[in-house]
Amino acid sequence: MRALAQGLDERASWDRYMRVECEHTDLRTVRRTIAWIRDEFAAAARREQKPGTARLILLDPDRFVAPSALPSLAEFAAEQGLQDFSEAEQFAAYEEAYLAGGRGGKGAVKASASRRIRVVERQLEVLRWLESLVAQDPRPGDSVAAWLSPSLAERLEHAGVGTLLALVERMNGRGARWWVQVPGVGELKAARILDWLHANEEVLGLRVGPHVVQPRAHVTAATLSAVVAPATALVPYEKLVVPAELDGRAGHFRVSPQHCLLIATNDHEAIGPWLASKQPAGVESNLSSTQRSYRKEAERLLLWSILERKKALS
pLDDT at 285: 55
pLDDT at 81: 82
My answer on whether 128 and 201 are in the same domain is no
My answer on whether 289 and 254 are in the same domain is yes
The domain boundary, picked from 86, 104, 134, lies at 134
* Residues 184, 159: Cα–Cα separation, whole Å: 10
My answer on whether 43 and 152 are in the same domain is no
My answer on whether 201 and 259 are in the same domain is no
My answer on whether 172 and 62 are in the same domain is no
My answer on whether 162 and 180 are in the same domain is yes
Vertex 74, ends 72 and 77: CA angle to 5°? Answer: 110
pLDDT at 167: 94
Gyration radius from the chain CA atoms: 30
Q: What is the pLDDT of residues 278-304, one digit of tens each?
A: 877 666 556 677 888 888 899 999 999
Q: What's the domain range around 183?
A: 141-222
The domain boundary, picked from 106, 134, 162, lies at 134
Q: Which residues of the chain have pLDDT under 70?
A: 20-25, 61-70, 98-113, 216-228, 281-287
Give CA 65 to chain center in angstroms: 39
My answer on whether 29 and 128 are in the same domain is yes
* Burial call 154-165: b when 16+ CB within 10 Å, e when fewer: ebbbebebbbbb
My answer on whether 279 and 216 are in the same domain is no
Nearest to 118 by CA among 45, 40, 65, 159: 65
My answer on whether 118 and 242 are in the same domain is no
My answer on whether 123 and 165 are in the same domain is no
My answer on whether 166 and 63 are in the same domain is no
Which residue stretches of the chain are H helix? 2-5, 10-17, 27-47, 51-58, 73-80, 87-98, 107-134, 150-158, 164-174, 187-199, 201-204, 221-227, 267-276, 289-303
pLDDT at 305: 93
Number of domains in the chain: 3
Report yes or no: 193 and 208 within 8 Å, Cβ to Cβ: no
SS3 of 231-256: ECCCCCHHHECCCHHHCCCCCCCCCC
The domain boundary, picked from 116, 134, 152, lies at 134
My answer on whether 74 and 26 are in the same domain is yes
Q: What is the pLDDT of residues 263-282, one digit of tens each?
A: 888 899 888 888 888 877 66
Helices 51-58 & 107-134 angle (0-180, nearest 10): 120
Report yes or no: 91 and 73 within 8 Å, Cβ to Cβ: yes
SS3 153: helix
CA distance to 56, 250, 278, 304, per residue, from 237 (Å): 57, 21, 16, 12
* Residues 56, 236: Cα–Cα separation, whole Å: 54
pLDDT at 197: 93
pLDDT at 105: 47
DSSP 63-114: GGS-TTTS--HHHHHHHHT-TTS-HHHHHHHHHHHHTSSSS--SHHHHHHHH
pLDDT at 102: 47
At 169, phi and psi to the nearest 5?
A: -65, -40
